[in-house]
Amino acid sequence: MSSLRTHDDTWDIASSVGATAVMVAAARAAETGRADRLINDPYARILVEGAGAGSWDYIADEAFVAQVTESDPEAGKLFEHMGNYQAVRTHFFDAFFAAAVDAGIRQVVILASGLDSRAFRLPWPAGTTVFEIDQPKVLEYKSATLAEHGVQPTAERREVAIDLRQDWPAALTAAGFDASRPTAWLAEGLLMYLPADAQDRLFTQITELSAPESRLAAESMGVHAPDRRERMRERLASIADKAGVEPMDITELTYEDPDRAEVADWLTANGWRAAAVDSQEEMDRLGRFVEITDSDEPSFSTFTTGVKL
């Protein structure tokens, strides 16, 4: 368990877990600028630029990436791999939502939504309501920043400003959520920030709120070898030093819990029909996998989807 996390910690957009949302948005902005882009997020750069200076400034900086690659080719490959991963992950969950609305689902819940702009950029059918759950300061920043640029949601968007460790089902219901209607749930970039028991509790709560034919998509990380985590930490710290910014150690924010349940197994045992795909397999399929020399795991993460029976 991380030494920096506590049971009641909180954050804004530029600190702790909130800062990781800015880094992910920076990766989406970089991908959007590619000629062969897998996703299109026209609002990512707006959200990053409004967050102030930080390590995220270098994720989309082609000159800096080129400089790092020249001095450390393996670090350059790591940059490329991380960017490709974020693009493939976003592409996968965009497709999940497209399939859900094609099946007639018009109620969506994005858990720990961060700087996710899907409520603004996806072509939601008429009558769709998107609920976003996250820390109050994170939601306030996103809404205010996009409003300043005249950006409007493409669905009815409702904010649920609450920590997922609190009674979020009650807050979600108070915001108009209807548990009798099928729902499309997303837990992207979330589970690694929860200990195993909190993950189980989250999925139990989702299951209790899910009508038959509801759908769920989640990203989960495996447990990585401690020596590899340390080597990765040192490499990223070296890159941050080259950039002249304070290094951000994401491993200090996450929970490496060997007792964590496999998402597909948990869902299958609790009334869902589940399927899982390794992130490497999905990256291969889309032509975006980059072999990293310092890697001893078959896949960085797993993308799981489920349908409530």
**Whether pLDDT at 74 is above 90:** no
Question: At a CB cut-off of 8 Å and minimum separation 6, what does 79 contact?
Answer: 59, 65, 68, 69, 239
pLDDT, the chain, mean: 86
Distance in angstroms (rounded) separating the CA atoms of residues 170 and 22: 28
Give residue-wise pLDDT tens across range 187-220. Answer: 999 998 898 999 999 999 999 999 999 999 999 9
Fold designation for 88-249+259-289+301-308: Rossmann fold (3.40.50)
Give residue-wise pLDDT tens across range 247-296. Answer: 555 656 667 778 899 999 999 999 999 999 999 999 999 999 988 776 55
Give residue-wise pLDDT tens across range 226-250. Answer: 666 666 666 666 666 665 656 555 6
- Model pLDDT, residue 5: 40
**Whether pLDDT at 9 is above 60:** no
More confident residue, 17 or 20: 20
**Whether pLDDT at 183 is above 70:** yes
This model's pTM is above 0.75: yes
Distance in angstroms (rounded) separating the CA atoms of residues 205 and 208: 5
Looking up tokens 């592409």, which residue turns up? 91
Domain boundaries, the chain: 88-249+259-289+301-308
Question: At a CB cut-off of 8 Å and minimum separation 6, what does 93 contact?
Answer: 186, 188, 217, 219, 303
- Model pLDDT, residue 70: 75
More confident residue, 303 or 72: 303
